[in-house]
Amino acid sequence: MSPPRKRDTAPTAPLLPPERRERVRAGLLDGYDRQKRDLPWRRTRDPYAIWLSEVMLQQTQVATVIPYWERFLQRFPTVEALASAPLPDVLAAWRGLGYYSRARNLHLAAQEVVARFGGRLPSTAAELLTLPGFGRYTAGAVASIAFGESAPLVDGNVARVLSRLFEVEGAPGDRAREARLWALATALVPGERPGDFNQALMEHGATVCRPENPLCLLCSVREECLAYRHGRVDELPPAKVRAAPKRMTLAVAVWAHAGRLLLARRAEKGLFGGLWELPAVEVDDDTPAPESAARLSQALGTPVHVEAALGTVRRQLTHRALSLRLLRVTGTTHPTHAPAFQELRWCTPQDASSLGMSTAMHKAFEAALDAGALAP
Ligand code: SF4
């Protein structure tokens, strides 16, 4: 007797009969037309402004993004204006939004748009994907919303909606699951108003098909929802297992001279790349002050010694628990360049306020001033 066949657990291609596809599309678009939020980037047709909103909305809440988006557009109103701005100015305008690689890529992509496309953002997802910072999601969003291309997109909200509507199994990050979600998004988007349809999917996930307590009784596609029909809304999608944030400790040099503090601009790559800071080096939790001084001396290319510990600033990032240990240091020379940094400057607090600094380092800078770093 042959052994029983194993159940095939691999997700199969989505079964999406044309009538069902049309009902899902119509239901989501109808819900969107009736209840969409009035967001400022939905009132513009400017592809650059739409692109900017999509970049800012990655990893940042809508309410936080709105004032940043408005200020950024005032400061850099066109692709050309952004492309010709110095990177530190762009990073300064980004301060508080986090994930600074987004700003660096935005700046690089603007320069490429000017150089390769005459300052006009290309209109297809395939061309957009050739620009820095454009992944499949951003390319699909800009191509569909700004240019009306039937390009699919999947973000966290869309993944949740599709998982429930079509009972897609698997945990976030599972490759077979991701492939199925993209296949579903690709099958659904062709038709009228592809940009609005993609926004309808995202809006549905943000406002109705929420992670907790989805509003199924108000849902415009409830009749089509397999998770609702099978009582599995709470199971889909399964929660993502998050890794604990990594601890990171920095020894931060608070070096005052003639009413100024020494500031340094970090190398482009890595955490806070390209941003200004009180010069800092990574240390272990238990590194003693003399050892921290030795590492700071090496980074600054001149000997420093620690006069006093000024306290610790803690900041929780998504993937890191940061401790910034403030050390008042002095040295016999006053460097103007250093091996580990792109630039050094001796700044008054007013000079420093116009430099691109991370929120964490800004807090450290203020803590240093509060601790009397510049007190006579
Ligand atoms: Fe989401 Fe509930 Fe609507 Fe299904 S019925 S799509 S779970 S809101």
Average pLDDT over residues 326-353: 94
Topology match between the domains 18-229 and 246-370? no
Whether residue 214 has its Cβ less than 6 Å from ligand 1: yes
Q: Decide if 154 contacts 179 (C-beta within 8 A).
A: no
Q: Mean pLDDT for the chain? A: 92
Among 6-10, 49-53, 155-159, 357-361, the range scoring the smallest mean pLDDT is 6-10
CA of 220 to the centre of ligand 1 (A): 8
Whether residue 279 has its Cβ less than 6 Å from ligand 1: no
CA of 223 to the centre of ligand 1 (A): 9
Q: Which residue has the higher pLDDT, 243 or 327?
A: 327
pLDDT digits (tens, 9 = 90+) for 140-176: 999 999 999 999 999 999 999 999 999 999 988 899 9
Tell me how far apart the alpha carbons of residues 160 and 93 are, in angstroms, rounded to a whole number: 32
Return contacts of 11-15, CB within 8 angstroms, 24+ apart.
11/168, 11/169, 11/170, 11/176, 11/177, 11/179, 11/180, 13/180, 13/183, 14/166, 14/180, 14/183, 14/184, 14/187
**pLDDT-derived band at 245, boundaries 50, 70, 90:** confident
Q: What is the pLDDT of residue 315?
A: 92
Q: What is the pLDDT of residue 318?
A: 76
Any residues with CB less than 8 A from the CB of 364 and at least 6 apart, and which? Answer: 252, 277, 278, 313, 324, 326
Tell me how far apart the alpha carbons of residues 335 and 344 are, in angstroms, rounded to a whole number: 8
Is it the case that residue 299 has pLDDT exceeding 90? yes
8 DSSP assignment: -
Tell me how far apart the alpha carbons of residues 60 and 140 are, in angstroms, rounded to a whole number: 19
3-state secondary structure at position 314: strand
Q: Decide if 38 contacts 230 (C-beta within 8 A).
A: no
Q: Kindly give the number of the ligand 1 atom that is closest to the alpha carbon of 221.
A: 3
pLDDT digits (tens, 9 = 90+) for 65-106: 999 999 999 999 999 999 999 998 999 999 889 889 999 999
Q: Kindly give the number of the ligand 1 atom that is closest to the alpha carbon of 236.
A: 7
Pairing of strands 256-257, 320-330: unpaired
Whether residue 237 has its Cβ less than 6 Å from ligand 1: no
Whether residue 164 has its Cβ less than 6 Å from ligand 1: yes
Q: What is the pLDDT of residue 12?
A: 44
Query: 18-229 — its CATH code?
Result: 1.10.340.30
Q: What is the pLDDT of residue 268?
A: 84
CA of 27 to the centre of ligand 1 (A): 12
Q: Kindly give the number of the ligand 1 atom that is closest to the alpha carbon of 215.
A: 8
**pLDDT-derived band at 17, boundaries 50, 70, 90:** very high
CA of 216 to the centre of ligand 1 (A): 5
**pLDDT-derived band at 9, boundaries 50, 70, 90:** very low
pLDDT digits (tens, 9 = 90+) for 104-144: 999 999 999 999 999 999 999 999 999 999 999 999 999 99
Any residues with CB less than 8 A from the CB of 208 and at least 6 apart, and which? Answer: 31, 35, 214, 215, 218, 219, 220
Could you tell me if residue 73 is left (phi over 0), alpha (psi between -120 and 50 degrees) or otherwise beta?
alpha
Percent of the chain topping pLDDT 70: 96
CA of 153 to the centre of ligand 1 (A): 19
Whether residue 225 has its Cβ less than 6 Å from ligand 1: yes
**pLDDT-derived band at 186, boundaries 50, 70, 90:** very high
CA pseudo-torsion sign 50, 191, 222, 237? negative
Rounded to 5°, angle at Cα 98 from 94 and 103: 45
Domain ranges of the chain: 18-229, 246-370
Q: Kindly give the number of the ligand 1 atom that is closest to the alpha carbon of 216.
A: 2
Tell me how far apart the alpha carbons of residues 188 and 211 are, in angstroms, rounded to a whole number: 22
Tell me how far apart the alpha carbons of residues 283 and 195 are, in angstroms, rounded to a whole number: 48
Mutate to test the pocket of ligand 1, among 184, 210, 222, 235 (most ligand atoms within 8 A of CB): 222
Q: Which CATH class is domain 246-370?
A: alpha beta
Q: What is the 3-state secondary structure (H, E, C) of 38-50?
A: CCHHHCCCCHHHH
SS3 content of the chain, % helix, strand, coil (to 5): 45, 15, 40
Residue 88 CB neighbours (<10 A): 18
Mutate to test the pocket of ligand 1, among 166, 208, 232, 235 (most ligand atoms within 8 A of CB): 208
Residues marked active site are found at 54
3-state secondary structure at position 357: strand
Q: Which residue has the higher pLDDT, 10 or 258?
A: 258
Q: What is the pLDDT of residue 15?
A: 63
**pLDDT-derived band at 200, boundaries 50, 70, 90:** very high
Whether residue 209 has its Cβ less than 6 Å from ligand 1: yes
Any residues with CB less than 8 A from the CB of 278 and at least 6 apart, and which? Answer: 252, 253, 254, 255, 261, 262, 263, 264, 326, 361, 364, 365, 368
Whether residue 293 has its Cβ less than 6 Å from ligand 1: no
Whether residue 206 has its Cβ less than 6 Å from ligand 1: no
**Ligand 1 atom 4: residue of nearest CA:** 225
Whether residue 216 has its Cβ less than 6 Å from ligand 1: yes
Q: What is the pLDDT of residue 172?
A: 87
Percent of the chain topping pLDDT 90: 84
Average pLDDT over residues 240-245: 77
Whether residue 201 has its Cβ less than 6 Å from ligand 1: no
Is it the case that residue 376 has pLDDT exceeding 80? no
Two tokens at 288?
């003693």
Average pLDDT over residues 259-284: 92
